[in-house]
Amino acid sequence: MNGPSYKAAARRAHNQVQQQAFDDIVASFEQPIPEDVLQCLELVVNKAQIHPGEAVLDIGTGIGVLIPFILKHHPSRVVACDLSGEMLKRVRARFGDRVTTLQADVVDIPLEQGPVGVVFCNAVFGNVYDQRETLEAIGRLLAPGGRLAISHPMGSAFVRRLKESSPRLQLKELPDEDSLRRLLEGTGLALAYFSDGLDLYLAICVKAGQDIPHEP
């Protein structure tokens, strides 16, 4: 098998594991979310500075924990993408026609879904098959000046521990600031804000050709 088709097959196999794992644990996502985590999620959404009328893409949306905060900013549309059909069923039940669902890996999202003003990757950047390829795909979907928020409400240390305790999921660590800058090279995205603490990992990346000011 040659390089690209081997990689595509490996990514499909990786994604099947992700899909099955998250289909199986969908009920655990329906438990009440602690207030401090809700505050983190709202902060992540606010930090991306959604402008009214911008389109928003939520990658690895799960049951849509970010969506109530996203809708407060009056986006033109919200596309919620996930590999797990069970997660997306919950999103449709909760938000109906206020959200478009897409069962796909971000790498396979057709360009017709773009350009979008803001992309969120909350608690999913460690799950993707190839972080660099994911950033390239997001770079293509974002409008000039568009923002990508990569976040995890429990920080990179939590993801590191999860990677060790759940080998089946084949997780990746969240990149530190220097590694993220290197991963972003050539994607058209630049790092505008980075923080990584015990309670929140948050990176805001901005697509070049900025026509919307972003305050770090």
Ligand X SMILES: C[S@@+](CC[C@H](N)C(=O)[O-])C[C@H]1O[C@@H](n2cnc3c(N)ncnc32)[C@H](O)[C@@H]1O
Residues in touch with ligand X (CB under 6 A): 15, 18, 22, 29, 59-62, 65, 81-84, 87, 105-106, 122-124, 127-128
Q: How far is the CB of 193 from ligand X (least distance, A)?
A: 19
User: In this complex, which beta carbon is closest to ligand X, that of residue 104 or of residue 190?
Assistant: 104
CA–CA gap between residue 200 and residue 169 (Å, rounded): 22
Cα–Cα distance measured from residue 113 to residue 25, given in angstroms and rounded to the nearest whole number = 28
Closest to ligand X by CB, 63 or 205: 63
Peptide bond into 115 cis (omega under 30): yes
Shortest Cβ distance from residue 213 to ligand X (Å)? 27
Shortest Cβ 13–ligand X spacing (Å): 13
The alpha-helical segments, DSSP class H, found in the chain are 3-24, 35-47, 67-71, 85-95, 131-141, 155-165, 177-184
In degrees, rounded to 5, the angle at the alpha carbon of residue 194 between the alpha carbons of residues 151 and 169 is 35
Of residues 101 and 117, the one with the C-beta less far from ligand X: 101
Least Å distance, CB 41 to ligand X, is 7
Closer by beta carbon to ligand X, 84 or else 187: 84
Q: Would you give the DSSP letter of residue 77?
A: E
